Structure 1
């Protein structure tokens, strides 16, 4: 039987290959993380926008295997071809559906651009046909580089990761060569700020809720949640005070408007400020990977390190559907309070000066954790999983 060698390829900070067998094993591990906590009362029919990876995938996993919910996920991934193994997100959707159906749970995947009006129409049709005509939970977990203008499809907005007001120089991790390099970013223009708000703000979240309302597919006590990020002092220039922070505040304003609309019906629009985690998107933010290395080192010493599945499972159990909500003065859920506690951040800020191009080495403890998590996003570095698979098995899994 012919075999395929699955070679890991990282170009800069972008993974160019995938190991489906590793992703299948990671799926099983995440399901086990949820199920060992037991079941809890929550959503019954959940729509996950951006459910193919990271926080979106974790949301779908805990909704299904924690609450027993039927789930519909929208992801935008490249499927496999005879000469291409596909993206990790594609395989995550495939393996989730297999596991959910084996457990007796309804799971549907829609591979489409979440921003397009036709995607909204397709989702509404699926809800009416297969999900009893109503959903009670919507997760908005989208991190995208661009979005077409729904009014003028010939116009596309592109998001940028830039500071505001002045240039920013920081160290960025080069995963391909395992070194730190200095990167300088010029400040964003007004047009770039506006475009980033269009892509990463809450504009599309509001359009989704309004489309679902107009179609009559929401229950009265419907909940929706969008994921935001605050971050520590050390990443504020590139994140909180930059284009991404501006977009997150626009998203939070959308949340307040939606809350005013849903509350009279017994519904909720929630914003959760989540912790720092390793994702394909976060690794390209200057200074962010360096901060994560310091954070992970501190958490290894203290305990309390959470990956997306741990974090979202705790968020849903304790705060969204539980009785232990941690809310800040702006009404946002704050599961990131553990990370941002002074006891953690004071030590992180003491560790950061040790992480420079001159003294960085690949055996730095926090780096090893970060690299392992990055590799596992694409199915590599998973204990017990070989980098070889039967060609017939690949064909059976993917077509």
Structure 2
């Protein structure tokens, strides 16, 4: 099957298996080039393991510290003449290379919000690993069915209080325009978004894992958040998504209490703005990222998801002295280079100058586009996209 990208807005409807394989291979090679993560985790559960930060977390744990990993995700499997989703192909590539390296790696495909998948995961841990010493929570979903009530919630991407107007870009065409987003219509929009993207499901996972006896002494768990610059605050940090992130961060002391008798600890890591399927959907953010990339690449401090996660593991979660550096609100910050004063000052100056005409010269919009297509296995160096490719690629541990 010849596979080419088919795009609808911020979603690519196709994915390339060979491109995914090479993408995962490049991430693995990066982690291996950085050397062993000393004192790193050995038995790891990654919830939301198939794309973005979750996938890079799994790669960092496996190839940075030789960890056995179980990944949970919700992806579409392939069939003849029918493509899988990118996350399926990513996981197939990861498992193949992990097994070739002699590493334990198994995966579970299903709704991670459900009690059924939680139980399935616990049973697999008991059967194969006994206990785990790290839980990465990296779910990104627009919808959640509550496992206790059966109520289905959908998140919304809206400002709170008043409409928000600012610049945005169609990263496919390079056209810069103004976008206006109406505010929430009721408090229910906030509560629905918190129900999907807040900390409750993370807490449910940790409660169930603890009750089942599959958490090791000294277990760590980490979930991911974002803050960003003031120009994105109305649509992100001060909007409905930001309220959900506040709830996620407020869950840390709750989980710490759950883990107290195991001497376990939970963290929220605030990560850098990067091209992900989620961030591509947020107005203003793609334009901000394209300017940010320009500035950070010029300064030699640009990172993708794998560089971020390797640094999180090696320099934050698993330090030589065991101490984890936190900000004044108790969060890990690997967005520290993005939020440097000199970086943000230059981005703000470029923001004031940016237009459709100036965009190609003052931004890295091409880098943004490349990163977007690489999420789906396209525009990856070394892949022949004119050649036929087998679309039916199985994940070894999923029958």
What residue number does 2:224 align with? 227
Question: Is 1:266 equivalent to 2:263 in the alignment?
Answer: yes
Residue 264 of structure 1, CA deviation: 4.0
User: Aligned residue for 2:308?
Assistant: 311
Q: Which runs of 5+ in 2 are unaligned?
A: none
What are the within-5 Å matches in structure 2 for residues 189-268 of structure 1? 189-268=186-265
Q: State the alpha-carbon separation in 2 of the partners of residues 145 and 106 from structure 1.
A: 31
> RCO greater where, 1 or 2, for CA within 8 Å and sep 6 or more?
2
Conserved? CA contact 1:290–1:355, under 8 Å: no
Q: TM-score by structure 1 length?
A: 0.95
Structure 1 unmatched runs, 5+: none
- Post-superposition shift, 1:397? 5.4
Does the aligned pair in 1 maintain the 2:198–2:246 contact within 8 Å? Answer: yes
In the alignment, which residue of structure 2 is the partner of 1:187?
Answer: 183
Equivalent in the alignment of 1:32: 29
C-alpha distance after superposition, 1:88-144 (max 9, x if no partner):
10001111000100000010011111100101000001001111x211110000111
Shift of 1:147: 0.3
TM-score (norm 2): 0.95
Candidates 163, 166, 169, aligned match of 1:170: 166
CA contact (8 A) 1:52 1:92 kept: yes
1:132-188 CA-to-partner distances (Å, cap 9, x unmatched) read x211110000111000021222x2010111110001122333234332343221112
SS in 2 for 1:182: strand
Q: Secondary structure at the match of 1:5?
A: coil
The DSSP-based 3-state class of the residue aligned with 2:35 is coil
Deviates more, 1:60-69 or 1:226-235: 226-235
Kept in 2, the 8 Å contact 1:282–1:288? The answer is yes
Could you tell me whether the CA contact under 8 Å between 2:89 and 2:393 is conserved in 1? no
Q: Select the residue among 152, 156, 161 that pairs with 1:156.
A: 152
**For the Cα contact (< 8 Å) 2:272–2:335, is it kept in 1?**
yes
Whole-Å separation in 2 of the counterparts to 1:54 and 1:173: 22
Query: Conserved in 2, the CA contact under 8 Å of 1:179 and 1:360?
Result: no
Change (3 A) 1:81 1:364: farther
**SS of residue in 2 equivalent to 1:317:** helix
Separation (CA, whole Å) in 2 of partners of 1:383 and 1:6: 16
Q: For residues 348 and 362 of structure 1, what CA distance do their matches in structure 2 show?
A: 15
